[in-house]
Amino acid sequence: MAQGKNVVVLGCGLMGFSIALDLLQSNSVGKLTVVDNSPERLKILEERASRKIQGGMVASYADYKDKLATKELDITKNEDEFNKFLTNFDLGIGALPHGIAERAVIAAADSKIDFVDLIYSWRYQDGSELDAKAKKNGVTIIPACGLAPGLTNILAKYAADQMEEVDAIKIYVGGIPEVPKPPLNYRIVFSIDSVLEEYMRDALIVRDGKKVDVPALSEVEELRFAEFSDQKFEAFMTDGLSTLPETLKKVRYMEEKTIRWKGHAEQIALLIDLGLFSERPVNLHRGGSRVSPRALLSTLLDKKLAMHQGDKDMTLLRVDVKGRKRKGDRTTRIKEYEMIDHFDTETQTTSMARTTAFPCSTVAQMVLEGRITETGFIPPELAIRDDRFDEMLSRLGRKGVVIKEKEFLAD
């Protein structure tokens, strides 16, 4: 097993922060550098890495603080400097906003380092050019490797591979507060701008074997989980299939829906109808100022929906794959994966950070350890297959992220 590699995490937001803390505990990481344009965020990470955590499954981060370095850098300002900087590392992890994620992925391929990214290729586009460059430079690029897309894709593809005929794949996933509170019965567990974008961007789904776009927030359905027998949730269309329509081309129906507390979609639709999601600046009646309604809404919600002391979130996930194990079989079955993850009170880590960061950091460690050796642009569902699938779920389970599997006859 390769050990002691030099790793860089780009971005120290909610997810990059948790990825970094997880990697500090890995024997495959010799030195970890975390990059961000905010010295405040980097300082908080350094303080957290110096803090002792007693008991439970979590080792004390302070035991590994000597492995950590931080660097204040705006990667958007000097491309040549950034590319040169990346050559110092064996592997990079991207935890950056949507607008600059692509730049980091391309820079990694140019700099000849392996790279795992949280969000790049959210809406899958032709990756042949990047694939060719990565193969030429002998590196592995794994895109969209968080919770959704990422873990959801891995689960869906693995279940589909156990069947010879697959009729439909339905993915349900969402991070919500354990206790719903107005307004919106929601608390921010990742970037508010990413949340708002999710509600506006059309969702790419597969219907009758064809890729089509449907409006976000549409086709709301009620959802229940056995653990919450007296609670009702809802799920609505969002754009999260990522690479699945390309890696599972024979599936005739495929969709991803976001889970929220019941009534949330209707409340968001009202805000959209009122024009509050518009990015076009409007004149205020007083003072003559111009402001974008969406920028104002983002600022207000960022404060109003922020998690405070005592708030706890949870993450719900369900992946259903419907089909037949043998061609021509008359018995249609559903393979289902389900996860209910809660806020970690010991480390004060949100469930969304855990369930997004851990799949990404786990895959990165598997690359570092030589468990994933293919070069090129490799979607996560193609990287984690066969025995790697069981290994990944086992690793996640040891971190407290438990995924339950069951199979039953379709109605």
Q: pLDDT at residue 1 above 50?
A: no
CATH number at residue 208: 3.30.360.10
Q: Which of 364, 336, 351 is nearest to 401 (CA)?
A: 351
pLDDT above 70: percentage of residues in the chain: 96
The Cα–Cα gap between 298 and 279 comes to 11
Lowest mean pLDDT among 74-78, 211-215, 299-303, 376-380: 74-78
Q: Can you list the positions of beta strands (E) in 178-265?
A: 203-207, 210-214, 221-223, 233-237, 253-261
User: Binning pLDDT at 50, 70 and 90, where does residue 200 land?
Assistant: very high
The Cα–Cα gap between 155 and 359 comes to 12
Do 237 and 310 fall within a single domain?
A: yes
Helix, strand, or coil here: 225?
Answer: coil
Write down the pLDDT at residue 122: 57
Do 359 and 314 fall within a single domain?
A: no
Write down the pLDDT at residue 286: 72
Do 163 and 258 fall within a single domain?
A: yes
The Cα–Cα gap between 9 and 11 comes to 6
User: Binning pLDDT at 50, 70 and 90, where does residue 357 land?
Assistant: very high
Do 276 and 161 fall within a single domain?
A: yes
The Cα–Cα gap between 203 and 214 comes to 5
Do 10 and 39 fall within a single domain?
A: yes
Do 159 and 128 fall within a single domain?
A: no
Q: pLDDT at residue 390 above 50?
A: yes
User: Binning pLDDT at 50, 70 and 90, where does residue 57 land?
Assistant: very low
Q: Which residue has the higher pLDDT, 256 or 76?
A: 256
Do 374 and 272 fall within a single domain?
A: no
User: Binning pLDDT at 50, 70 and 90, where does residue 53 land?
Assistant: low
Domains: count for the chain: 2
Q: pLDDT at residue 4 above 90?
A: no
Q: pLDDT at residue 89 above 60?
A: yes
Do 274 and 336 fall within a single domain?
A: yes
Q: Which residue has the higher pLDDT, 351 or 60?
A: 351
Do 138 and 236 fall within a single domain?
A: no
Do 136 and 174 fall within a single domain?
A: no
Domain coverage including residue 160: 151-352+403-409
Q: What is the pLDDT of residues 121-166, one digit of tens each?
A: 755 566 788 999 999 999 999 999 999 999 999 999 999 999 999 9
Do 257 and 137 fall within a single domain?
A: no
Q: Which residues of 327-364 are buried (b: 16+ CB within 10 A; e: fewer)?
A: eeeeebbbbbbbbbbebbeebebbbbbbbbbbbbbbbb
Write down the pLDDT at residue 192: 87
DSSP label at 111? Answer: T
Write down the pLDDT at residue 56: 46
Write down the pLDDT at residue 55: 47
Q: Which residues of 97-119 are buried (b: 16+ CB within 10 A; e: fewer)?
A: eeebbbbbbbbbbbbebbbbbbb
CATH number at residue 20: 3.40.50.720
Q: What is the pLDDT of residues 314-345, one digit of tens each?
A: 999 999 999 999 888 889 999 999 999 999 99
Helix, strand, or coil here: 256?
Answer: strand
Give the chain's mean pLDDT: 92
Do 221 and 73 fall within a single domain?
A: no
